[in-house]
Structure 1
């Protein structure tokens, strides 16, 4: 195992809407990584259909996971993008996500409100500060970036890096390994990218692996997730985002 090199694994879209899928991913990760050495990205009300504030049993589960050491991030509010876009933002909204880039088109005021509300709700559930904020689909507009700088979060993440929102300091750099389940073409593409990453990312100081509830419906994706986590875990420690330091 390479001393100093780190693996950061995460489960996205955590909430009562996907409880069984989250359980399956958590069991997979704990089995491969030797315990709850991963993060959860919690959505306060996924697509307006699963309000965490009305799910006391799931909030209790979040606290139990947090007590075991699972890091908890605020992951938007609705996860659904309801804004109108133009220019580059329109391209990102169409091609980088399926209508889920919630924070891509929000004003600073609205982004700040949703960040603060999500932070308060999740921190009340887990009984401790949230680890940070990660926008749905890793997409941030100008308003979201401005709000994030003042939001009181220790960490933020996008496709290519992890950073300190208050200072802008980069804490980790490199593409995140993730999977796409919504079409056969995307499944095959993500399987190929994960296989490539398992053989070429070992020089990176920090490797990030992100999973989604939809992955659990495709056996080939679950197998790839297991193999990818295992390949990295054999060479580096599965750690915590909170342990990152400026490079």
Structure 2
């Protein structure tokens, strides 16, 4: 905390789908030990298996998690990039999102269709999200136009949370690992340091957890150390929906 400003931080658990169920539960168990609410980013469509709504055990667990204070949000539709689009955006998908940037190059019509199909799948599971995070945090201008017309409350990018109802943009950079990528070990050392430094300075931020982090030596410990450092420095953990509601009421 610096000059009386309390940092806020959001912990998101990405890539929630039937295939990643056990890893999602592992992350959430760690967060609940720390009284930290998670925003669970749900992939609605068939991705490495059946659609989310076709896994009754996962659906029951998600509803129970929501009752315990976690948020359920939409994370794309199939989490796989769609062919076509401008060459520059296709390159971004390959370099930054490893082929998962589904909404990176869509026009508004295509984006609206995938958003609606994803929400319909989640509704089939009795889930009605307030927010949307595009895979890889990459959204085309057409996707942003579709999101503004969607009725959703917010979306996110790598550096910010975007309130779709007011047009406000809240700068909260995301800290995350890149398993198997260049600089993996350096980033693992940096993550707890950055979380501690930002929390002490009253700077709000996000920590993104992925299933693959649990399969790499040291990444789980690094992410949990970052969360512990943020809490020790007095930062306030919120879900995305809580953050947007609080900021909308005028809290810095």
Q: Secondary structure at the match of 1:219?
A: coil
2:29 maps to 1:27: yes
Q: Is the 8 A contact 1:40 1:73 kept in 2?
A: yes
Q: Following TM superposition, by how much is the alpha carbon of 1:201 offset from its aligned partner in structure 2, in angstroms?
A: 1.6
> Residue deviations 1:57-97, cap 9 Å, x none?
21111111111111111000111103224343133112111
Q: Give 2:207's match in structure 1, choosing from 209, 212, 215.
A: 209
Moved over 6 A (4+): none
Match of 1:179 in 2: 177
Q: What is the alpha-carbon distance in structure 2 between the residues aligned to residue 180 and residue 223 of structure 1?
A: 14
Q: What is the alpha-carbon distance in structure 1 between the residues aligned to residue 202 and residue 80 of structure 2?
A: 32
Q: Give 1:14's match in structure 2, choosing from 13, 16, 23.
A: 16
Listed as ranges, the gaps of 5+ residues in structure 2 are: none
Match of 1:49 in 2: 49
Q: What is the alpha-carbon distance in structure 2 between the residues aligned to residue 80 and residue 138 of structure 1?
A: 13
Match of 1:95 in 2: 95
Match of 1:77 in 2: 77
TM alignment of 1:55-134, pairs within 5 A: 55-127=55-127, 129-134=128-133
Q: Is the 8 A contact 1:85 1:93 kept in 2?
A: no
TM-score of the aligned structures, taking structure 2 as reference length = 0.88
CA RMSD of aligned residues (A): 2.1
**Matched residue pairs, number?**
242
Match of 1:188 in 2: 185
TM alignment of 1:134-173, pairs within 5 A: 134-170=133-169, 172-173=170-171
Match of 2:238 in 1: 239
Q: Following TM superposition, by how much is the alpha carbon of 1:204 offset from its aligned partner in structure 2, in angstroms?
A: 4.3
